[in-house]
Amino acid sequence: MRPTHVSILKANQGECDALAGLDQRVARKIEPLLEIGRVTDAIRQRKYFQTSKAPTMAYLNRVFQRVGAVWKGRVAMVDGYQWSPDAQVENGDHAIAHMVLGLEAVGVSVVPVVGYDRWSNPEYRMGIQAIPLRTDGRYCVRLDSSAFEDSAEPELFQATIADILEGLELDPGRCSVLLDFADVSMSAMSIERIVETSENVIRQLGMFGFDYYIVAGCSLPKTIDLAVSDRDSEGFVLRKEMLAWQTLRLNLPDVTIVSGDYGVRGPTTSEAPSRFTNGKIRHTVKGQMYIVRGHAFSSDGNQEQMYSLSARLVRSTHFLGAGFSWGDSQILLCSRQTALGSTTRWISIDTNHHLTFVVQEVEEFQRSIAAKEFI
């Protein structure tokens, strides 16, 4: 079944808690692309990592258990985009193959993601080929900036896609293609450029007969001060990826294109804690992200500013009520000073609201198109 929306999410605790809190109706329509982060210096400092004979496998097993606890029996795409193309775990398995098999072992129905940018690496190619062919044949081919550059030479671009399909013995009619524009914040890329590039790529791939396409990007900049310049103020960020998807749906009505994004934090967001981290709520509204910004937590030495930030949001016209999503219920509790939460907790709150809102936003847009076609 084709998803209503795909969000590229870090396979971290905050995002997993957001998935756990989804209403079942929404969860059935979401297909996350879970990005499993590479081993960082912070992870290397953890006791289990330092004492394990197979530390990378121990780290990944914790990720598998975390994801399985909230997404068992559901479908998720899986990738390790930030890992080296030739990365292996201690038993000699390729890291990506180990991720796919590890998540399947905990009950997740996995759609492996094949990176166009990494296909030329022989170790990566062999690692992907080592994954047992899916019983349903579903894979996702991920295109990034390198693919978009190659599309300027259609013969080269199409030959690489053909090589991926032949090398994995895939039926393109059961596969999706992700057009991953990654960071489109500020002046990085315009809506017009996203649409133009997408239309060009989709036209070139039409000969293969892929099941559907996903267009994703992230309009949020990597730090909140680039989104809202003044402390303790509010502002909006245009969600270019959503507006580009809507344009593509109108321009290419005969092509199945699924909306995609990066949730509430993008590909360039730092994982490392910082004393400069600001209090903030990233609240998805129609076509935009409403940002309620506070100030650095280090200024107060605590996180109590989240009480006032939540109250400001609840008083605004953008709050849809505690019954809208689990995330919104937590915002109301915080505004009443009966719950606070860590920065990880706020990632889960913001992400949960975002996923719930986007599914409704997409469905509303699809209905408007259907109504116009009927008329």
pLDDT above 80 for 83 = yes
Q: Which domain holds residue 208?
A: 5-31+133-374
What mean pLDDT do residues 28-52 have?
95
Residue 299 pLDDT: 86
Calculate the average pLDDT of the chain.
95
Do the Cβ atoms of 144 and 132 come closer than 8 Å? Answer: no
Residue 197 lies in a domain: yes
What are the backbone dihedrals phi and psi of residue 320, each rounded to the nearest 5 degrees, phi first? -100, 5
Phi, psi of 231 (to 5 degrees): -60, 150
Please tell me the distance from the alpha carbon of residue 110 to that of residue 374, in angstroms, as a whole number.
37
Flag whether pLDDT at 47 surpasses 90: yes
Least confident of 27-31, 90-94, 201-205, 274-278: 274-278
The strands making up 233-238's β-sheet, listed across from edge to edge, are 233-238, 288-296, 278-285
**Span 235-264, pLDDT tens digits:** 999 999 999 999 999 999 999 999 999 999
**Sequence-separated (6 or more) residues with CB below 8 Å from residue 108:** 67, 68, 71, 72, 73, 74, 75, 76
Question: Considering the domain boundaries, does residue 51 fall inside one?
Answer: no
Within-domain flag for 107: no
User: 152 lies in a domain?
Assistant: yes
To the nearest 10 degrees (0 to 180), the angle between helices 95-105 and 122-129 is 20
Rounded to whole angstroms, how far apart are CA atoms 360 and 5?
10
Report CA-CA distances (Å) from 118 to 6, 38, 85, 174, 309: 22, 16, 6, 21, 42
DSSP letter (8 states) at residue 31: -
Task: Please give the tally of structural domains in the chain.
Answer: 1
Confidence of residue 230 (pLDDT cuts 50, 70, 90): very high
Confidence tier at 375 by pLDDT (50, 70, 90): low
Q: What are phi and psi of 140, to 5 degrees?
A: -125, 130
Report yes or no on 49 lying in a domain.
Answer: no
Cα-based distances in Å from 347 to 118, 257, 330, 352: 30, 27, 12, 8
pLDDT at 302: 84
127 located within any domain: no
**Tokens for 73?**
């029996």
Please state the φ and ψ torsions of residue 169, each to the nearest 5 degrees. 55, 50
Confidence of residue 271 (pLDDT cuts 50, 70, 90): low
Please check whether residue 110 lies inside any domain of the structure: no
Whether 60 is in a domain gets the answer no
Tell me what the mean pLDDT of segment 310-318 comes to: 98
Query: Does residue 147 surpass a pLDDT of 80?
Result: yes
* pLDDT tens readout for residues 275-303: 678 999 999 999 999 999 999 988 887 89
What residue ranges in the chain does DSSP mark as E strands? 5-10, 33-35, 75-79, 109-115, 140-143, 176-183, 212-218, 233-238, 257-261, 278-285, 288-296
pLDDT at 273 > cutoff 70: no
Q: Are 227 and 281 in contact (CB under 8 A)?
A: no
Across 153-157, 186-190, 329-333, 357-361, least confident range? 186-190
